C-alpha cells in the first residue's frame, strides 16, 4: 500500500444514529477533493468502539458500494483486484467465519496481492545503462 490514507469519520444524526448520507459525503470528499489513495474504515477515529456490529457492517457496506462504483467508473485490472481484496477482507472482518474460511480468505488475498504485484512488475520496462558513444 502506498500513498495517503484517510481515517473515515462516522457521521451521526441528531438522535445518535449513523448518518448514511453524511458518511457517503465524507467518502466522496476524501476521494474527489482530498485525493486520498485509500480510506481506513471503522478505526478509533470513526468511533468504532461505540458502534454496534450492525452499524459497523452498514459502514462497510457503504464504503464497499462506493468502491465498487469507483471500480465500474474507472475499470482497470488493478481496481478489480483492489475491490476483490477489499471484499474478501470485509467478509473476514464483518462476517462470522470459521477458521477454515479465514484461512481460505487469507490465501485468496495473498494470491490477489501476488497477482497485482505481477501485473505491475510485468508492465515495467527495465532500464539499460546508457552506452558511451564517445
* Same-domain pairing of 3 and 16: yes
* Same-domain pairing of 49 and 109: no
In a domain, 23, yes or no: yes
* Same-domain pairing of 89 and 61: no
* Same-domain pairing of 5 and 33: yes
In a domain, 132, yes or no: no
Residues ≥6 apart with Cβ < 8 Å to 8 = 23, 26, 27, 30, 39, 40, 41, 42, 43, 45, 46, 59, 63
In a domain, 128, yes or no: no
* Same-domain pairing of 63 and 1: yes
Global pTM value: 0.58
The answer on pLDDT for 21 being more than 90 is yes
In a domain, 9, yes or no: yes
* Same-domain pairing of 16 and 68: yes
Among residues 37, 57, 75, the one where a domain terminates is: 75
In a domain, 36, yes or no: yes
* Same-domain pairing of 67 and 13: yes
Residues ≥6 apart with Cβ < 8 Å to 99 = none
Residues in the chain: 134
* Same-domain pairing of 84 and 60: no
Residues 36-93: tens digit of each pLDDT: 888 888 877 767 888 888 888 888 888 877 877 777 677 677 777 777 777 777 777 7
Which pLDDT value is given to residue 20? 92
Number of domains in the chain: 2
45 is in which domain, residue-wise?
1-75
Amino acid at each position: 500500500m502506498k500513498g495517503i490514507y484517510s481515517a473515515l469519520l462516522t457521521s451521526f444524526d441528531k438522535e445518535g444514529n449513523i448518518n448514511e448520507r453524511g458518511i457517503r459525503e465524507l467518502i466522496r470528499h476524501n476521494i474527489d477533493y482530498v485525493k486520498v489513495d485509500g480510506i481506513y474504515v471503522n478505526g478509533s477515529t470513526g468511533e468504532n468502539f461505540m458502534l454496534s456490529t450492525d452499524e459497523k457492517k452498514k459502514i462497510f457496506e457503504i464504503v464497499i458500494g462506493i468502491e465498487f462504483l469507483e471500480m465500474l467508473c474507472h475499470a482497470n485490472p488493478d481496481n478489480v483486484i483492489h475491490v476483490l481484496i477489499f471484499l474478501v477482507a470485509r467478509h473476514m472482518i464483518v462476517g462470522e467465519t470459521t477458521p477454515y474460511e479465514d484461512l481460505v480468505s487469507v490465501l485468496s488475498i495473498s494470491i490477489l496481492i501476488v497477482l497485482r504485484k505481477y501485473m505491475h512488475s510485468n508492465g515495467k520496462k527495465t532500464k539499460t545503462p546508457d552506452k558511451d558513444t564517445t
